[in-house]
Each structure stands twice: as structure tokens, then as C-alpha cells.
């Protein structure tokens, strides 16, 4: 099964809406038999055990490296753009819609 990293906005806009957007995409990917990695679930970890933003960004980058693809969801985000750049550097394909991902993997 293919591991898909979800890259999207978190701090720009409403954080809860941004988390829900990733969860909705993850659910759709699961229905298609992909294994999504949802980095914005760290939102809930951070509520209980706050950590510096750099910790979450570092963890995300490590997960990008072991995924088969990155799905970049719409929205402005320096962090998501950095994850996309890392994926390109590592030769990991980046897709901008679930439809595109299904056709490309």
C-alpha cells in the first residue's frame, strides 16, 4: 500500500478548519486503499504537550522522506511548500489533487 504525506496550510487561516481539511483528504485516501500520513494530527498532541514549531516541522520532514508521494492541498503555507521542495529533492512525486494522485501512482 502506498504511503501518502498530506501537505497543507496550518497556521494561515483557521487551524481547526485546516486540520479538518487534512482529515477529509485522509479519509478519501483511505477509501482508495492508500495509507495517509496526517501531520496536522499533531495539532491535538500540541494542545496536550506543546512543543516548538520547529519540532513539528522536523518530524514532518522525516515522514516526507518515507512516503511514496506527497499530496499538496490548496492554501498558502511556507511549511507545506518546504515539504514539497523536500519531496522533489528526494525524488518523491508530488500531486495537487486526489484525482491526479490516482492517475499518477
Contacts of 102 (CB under 8 A, 6+ apart): 32
Evaluate whether 77 touches 10 at the Cβ level (below 8 Å).
Answer: yes
Query: What pLDDT is stored for residue 1 in this prediction?
Result: 94
Contacts of 57 (CB under 8 A, 6+ apart): 79, 82
**Residue 4 CA neighbour count, 13 Å, CB half:** 30
- Domain regions of the chain by residue span: 3-104
CA-CA distance, 84 to 24, in Å (whole number)? 20
pLDDT digits (tens, 9 = 90+) for 40-58: 999 999 999 999 989 999 9
Query: What pLDDT is stored for residue 64 in this prediction?
Result: 98
CATH 3.40.50.10400 fits 3-104, yes or no: yes
Amino acid at each position: 500500500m502506498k504511503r501518502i504525506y498530506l501537505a497543507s496550510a496550518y497556521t494561515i487561516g483557521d487551524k481547526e478548519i485546516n486540520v479538518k481539511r487534512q482529515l477529509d483528504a485522509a479519509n478519501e485516501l483511505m477509501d482508495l486503499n492508500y495509507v495517509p500520513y496526517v501531520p496536522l494530527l499533531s495539532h491535538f498532541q500540541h494542545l496536550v504537550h506543546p512543543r516548538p514549531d520547529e519540532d513539528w516541522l522536523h518530524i514532518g520532514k522525516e515522514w516526507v522522506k518515507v512516503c511514496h508521494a506527497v499530496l499538496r492541498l490548496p492554501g498558502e503555507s511556507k511549511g507545506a511548500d518546504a515539504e514539497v521542495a523536500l519531496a522533489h529533492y528526494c525524488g518523491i512525486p508530488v500531486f495537487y489533487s486526489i484525482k491526479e494522485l490516482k492517475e499518477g501512482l
